[in-house]
Amino acid sequence: MKEVYFDNAATSRCSEGVVRIVNQMMLEAYGNPSSMHGKGVEAEKYCRTAAETLAACLKVSPEEILFTSGGTESNNQAIKGAAYAYQRRGKHLITTQIEHPSVYRVMEELEKEGFSVTYLPVNADGLVETETFQNALRDDTILTSIMTVNNETGARQPVELLAKIQKTQVPGALFHTDAVQGFAKYRLSPAKSGIDLLSISGHKFHGPKGIGALYIRKGVRIVPLLEGGGQQNGLRSGTHPVPLIAGLGQAAAEAYQGFDEKIEHLYTLKKCLTDGLSDMEDVYLLGTQDPIISAPHIVSAAFVPVRSEVLLHALEEKGIYVSSGSACSSHNTKTSRTVSALGVEKAMADSVIRFSFCENNTTEEVQYCLETLQEILPVLKKYARR
């Protein structure tokens, strides 16, 4: 049976180059980077090379890269670390209603600790309005966290513009962006844009699971979440996972090779799918598909009245793997916060499926998916109406 993997926003398959270097590190460069002997120096070299690669991708300094266990830790470290470090200046934080749980729930926890949080709404395209953001800024605002790309709709937030507005209006406030879905899909330059903190996760762009990074602009103070041996300049204690770090660096390097061609291919796949879905009855695309404000790799659509989990498993039986929303909340029976924020009615919200591509997907796979949907939807609709 044909296998079509359209759930790359949840996780992606490791590239062969990543697998090779991870395996090599496990078997050869197995020293502790903190050790002073040759094996330790060898391992440290690979960590430094990975930091240099990530820094080059982001146009920042290698010393501004902190390795973490992934996007969740990066977001937690950025938000909690900055909030605790700057709380004497003020206790007002800003985020949006559509953030990943690793941002949204952290904000909720900080509210319990006495911080004040403004949760910005989004428009029908899933975007934060500039005026709404400006009105939310206060003299006691110390941190804003707004994602680069929404993991469910693909909406590309104007984070560079918002960061510049914040620097003008509240110069002392920090700006963090969760770029987990944006890294390797856009050329990001946080330092140039006034972004102080930026999170990435390796397994979203063919790197290993369990490794990520946080860009921390030089001069920004954050309180570490982990205490221990003081590795990574005291910001994250614990022995460096050298194989994963090397794999992350390799994945980042590969992601930006032939970048323009890859992104053009992703947009071709997206247009092929959205054009086909638009021709189907009772199928509704979520958010805008405008390539200027919509990421190349994510498409979400509601297939009314078929429930998302029913369609997901029906597609799986045909070898097509998709998602019913964010992988981090797919087992939650509640309606997605992101979908609700778009003003989507519950009946439609319960029918949402997310398709997400990588550069290895093909137009033939998209056509097979569309043909499969044309075949199974009439049957599932009849069952849903009973």
Total Cβ atoms within 10 A of residue 123: 15
Sheet holding 141-145, edge to edge: 65-68, 212-216, 197-201, 174-178, 141-145, 92-96, 116-120
Q: Is 341 exposed, middle or buried (0-12, 13-18, 19+ CB in 10 A)?
A: buried
Letter for the amino acid at 133? F
Selected catalytic residue, list 14, 57, 272, 328? 328
How far is C-alpha 65 from the chain's CA centre?
17
CA distances from 10 to 20, 152, 181, 197 (A): 23, 10, 10, 23
Q: Phi and psi at residue 201, in whole multiples of 5°?
A: -140, 125
Q: In a 10 Å sphere around its CB, with 0-12 CB exposed, 13-18 middle and 19+ buried, how is residue 88 labelled?
A: exposed
Compute φ and ψ for 149, nearest 5 degrees.
Answer: -135, 130
What is the rounded CA–CA span in Å between residue 34 and residue 43? 9
**Catalytic (active site) residue 272:** no
Burial class (CB in 10 A: 0-12, 13-18, 19+), 128: buried
**Catalytic positions, written as ranges:** 328
